[in-house]
A and B are shown apart, each in its own frame.
Chain A
């Protein structure tokens, strides 16, 4: 019991971390929480949770087929745990997918809006249907519980038992379809996936490897549950599974190497690159070593060897899915994907949640159908379970929920610590990286290129000056653009206040003013006394610096925050250009391409071409 308490506590801790990160992911989005980019749109959640999860759940249909189709009754004791694992595995897949989808609330779209040219359409339908089948396959176990003995539920129970074999057959069909179709997804990227992993028969490889992995996963699970629930391990049963796994892994190896030979890719194996080393490592631990070891009957009957082999296969096959999904995919130079701790924590939390449900089912349902042991443990548990004593109207024994105070304190503390550790972008949302603005250079014609990308705009300052003087008058013409100046300065350049390309910037140096006015004796010189000290309660700049805002326009210095350089430029130029286009009757003046010309042009150039086209960008390219 103590062992189980520790394991459950750790699982609760992982699940709580995931809870906080899930909040951040769903409220602030993928950009704020993941390392995913346009270059790497599929990351850990797809490769591990979806592709790995589906493969790990393959034990369900393999064992069901063995028991119901091939009548290998020997394996019936591990049928229920295998079906439960498959059910939880697929639930984890769906939850993992919800995290990865950009618009998760549209997950039902595949049911209504059919796109039968898409592989994902098949995957979506198979996962949905197989999840339903698994739920129906597992439901009879839950319906055996003494709390669920209502007549209507018992009728459903009977119906489901009668439907077992059709359900199992449907399950096998659906599994075959989409274990392989997860591989088919990669058929559309033959040049992105490394040659050692890409093959036109990748769907078949996915299916065969899933069968081997499923068998070994069931074995590993038997070890875990015997450790947690003190069962005796049936060695001959596991040895039987291992024999089957060994054969399947040999088949997998044969297909894989023959395929490499047929496509004359065997040379890549000894290329010496990290990909070839990774491939050799993956193939040896996922198939080669376990298959060879498990083909000896002596080794198959040793528990430590079985445990090591099953661990190797599970690790190796998950690595295979990670390789196909992330690692062996070509990326543009300099673009490295490594999942953030938040992505990893979500994956861990989903696995932990599934494990917690598994333990709950093992504690409350007849999961391990070994009659003798079951009876013993029921007798032992009788005093622990609450029993209603009808005559005295009293519940005897312990409560249903055990150790609630331990788990709740773990959840509370882990949630708080995780929330404190969240990076600021996961709390306030994704924000662009700051791009400091550089000064525009030139004299009569100014080159405006704030972020120095070379995509500059040539601005004829002199010509604008003359025009605006004509329109507004001599002084007002300057003020039309130079609306504010730094104290003691003439017309200040835009970049001094609008100092970031895309972000708003603070133009008030609080520390400087505080020092200049002798510390906090002087708060009330700017902040009204008796009010909260905030931007809102402070006086306007012009109350001290009369000449700072040449043109009084408080909207342009809203609480001492200057807009981004880009917004400031656009909002200054476009309204005036729109006005002038009305007056001059030239519809091109307010258009993007009037200023953003590639390659940049001076006004003289533009004037020479009488009819400025609406899209000089494309025309320029065409001429070149």
Chain B
């Protein structure tokens, strides 16, 4: 057990963290590269970048846009995102670990704020899971990965919360091991699943806007693909 714990703390964490960080960087650069290619090829180069930027910014505060008929979803989704971003990055215990390993530290949030945010994340996450299970329209749009990622995320936060309590019936090392392993699974999956929107969100609007500008010879290429050669008319 201590060996497994050391493995999860050291090599497995390095593996998953690097896959996450480099994988996200790769996705971001590839998307940028694709956008440049699209602009180079499109004949119509009049793109309303200002408008796209505005849309992107407005999606960062989705309360007034999403699910006007179920405000609870958009509200809990917003809180859920806040917790998921702030707690892992600014929890003091995590910052101590970074300082001990690579010597870089940054200001963190106090324990009480972290506790409140964690509980909020757990509550809103459970709510979102409930909507995915019980609301028919959302269930029809969900796949296995959507449930899996949400459950893993809830597991990470729950075990993290338990591990930071002094009084709990479960052995500390077991809880920490589950916390580490589930977090590592989540990190590895990040660049390969929809979680990649954490870095791609500034480009999503831009990509979908530009992708509709076909290159001038697109029709000819389609013809070649379908018929093998271009027939003179």
Chain A contacts to B: CB under 8 angstroms: 386, 389, 392-396, 399, 401, 404-405, 408-409, 411-413, 415-417, 419-422, 424, 519-524, 527, 529-534
Contacts and interface: CB of A to CB of B under 8 A. Distances in A.
Interface stretch (B38-46, B65-73, B74-82, B139-147): B38-46
Contacts of A419: 14-15, 18
B62 interface: no
Given A394-B216, A419-B15, A529-B166, A412 B22 contact: yes
Contacts of A404: 30, 33
B212 interface: no
A422 B18 CA distance: 13
A30 B217 CA distance: 56
A532 B11 contact: no
B23 A412 contact: yes
10 contacts: A389-B216, A393-B45, A401-B33, A404-B33, A412-B19, A415-B22, A416-B15, A416-B22, A523-B166, A532-B92
Contacts of B29: 408
Contacts of B11: 420-421
B41 A394 contact: yes
B148 interface: no
Interface stretch (B53-61, B130-138, B150-158, B167-175): B167-175
A171 to B, nearest CB: 40
A160 B19 CA distance: 46
B92 A416 contact: no
Contact of B96 (A424, A520, A534): A534
B93 A532 contact: yes
Interface in B168-226: 168, 171-172, 191, 215-217
Given A396-B41, A405-B30, A532-B93, A416 B18 contact: yes
Contacts of B51: none
B40 A395 contact: yes
Contacts of B112: 530
Contacts of A520: 166-168, 171-172
Given A412-B22, A530-B112, A524 B15 contact: no
A420 B15 contact: yes
Given A408-B30, A520-B172, A532 B166 contact: no
Given A392-B216, A408-B30, A520-B166, A413 B41 contact: no
Contacts of B93: 532-533
B232 interface: no
User: Which 9 pairs show the lowest CB-CB distances between chains A and B?
Assistant: A420-B15, A416-B18, A523-B166, A420-B11, A395-B40, A412-B22, A524-B166, A532-B93, A416-B19
B12 interface: yes
A531 B110 CA distance: 9
B15 A394 contact: no
B10 interface: yes
A374 B29 CA distance: 34
Interface in B13-28: 14-16, 18-19, 22-23, 26
Given A392-B216, A396-B217, A412 B26 contact: yes
B64 interface: no
Given A389-B216, A413-B19, A420-B18, 15 more contacts: A396-B216, A404-B33, A405-B30, A412-B22, A412-B23, A412-B26, A415-B18, A415-B22, A416-B14, A416-B18, A419-B18, A520-B172, A530-B112, A531-B111, A534-B96
Chain A contact surface mostly: helix
Nearest to A520: B172
A396 to B, nearest CB: 6
B48 interface: no
Contact of A395 (B15, B18, B41, B168): B41
Contacts of B40: 386, 394-395
Chain B contact surface mostly: helix
Interface in B90-127: 92-93, 96, 111-112
Contacts of A413: 19
Given A392-B216, A405-B30, A417-B15, A424 B10 contact: yes
A401 B37 CA distance: 11
Contacts of A531: 111
B171 to A, nearest CB: 7
A389 B33 CA distance: 20
A551 to B, nearest CB: 30
A394 B26 contact: no
B69 to A, nearest CB: 39
Nearest to A423: B11
Nearest to B42: A394
Contacts of B167: 520-521, 523-524
A421 B12 CA distance: 9
Contacts of B111: 530-532
B109 to A, nearest CB: 12
Contacts of B12: 420
Contacts of A532: 92-93, 96, 111
A424 to B, nearest CB: 7
A151 B42 CA distance: 31
A419 B93 CA distance: 24
Contacts of A409: 26
A562 B171 CA distance: 29
A405 B43 CA distance: 25
Contacts of A405: 30
Nearest to B95: A532
A416 B18 CA distance: 5
B21 to A, nearest CB: 9
Contacts of A412: 18-19, 22-23, 26, 191
Contacts of A395: 40-41
B39 to A, nearest CB: 9
Nearest to A428: B101
A516 to B, nearest CB: 15
A531 B112 CA distance: 10
A555 to B, nearest CB: 21
Max count, chain B CB within 10 A of own CB: residue among A411, A420, A521, A530: A420
Contacts of B191: 412
Contacts of B18: 412, 415-416, 419-420
A602 to B, nearest CB: 47
B190 to A, nearest CB: 12
A247 B37 CA distance: 55
Contacts of A530: 111-112
B46 to A, nearest CB: 12
A395 B215 CA distance: 9
Contacts of B172: 520, 523
Nearest to A386: B40
A519 B174 CA distance: 12
A396 B18 CA distance: 36
B55 to A, nearest CB: 26
Contacts of A408: 26, 29-30
A389 B14 CA distance: 47
Contacts of A396: 41, 215-217
A424 B30 CA distance: 33
Contacts of B15: 416-417, 419-420
A387 to B, nearest CB: 10
B173 to A, nearest CB: 9
A401 B166 CA distance: 55
B14 A420 contact: yes
Max count, chain A CB within 10 A of own CB: residue among B37, B45, B112: B37
A538 to B, nearest CB: 12
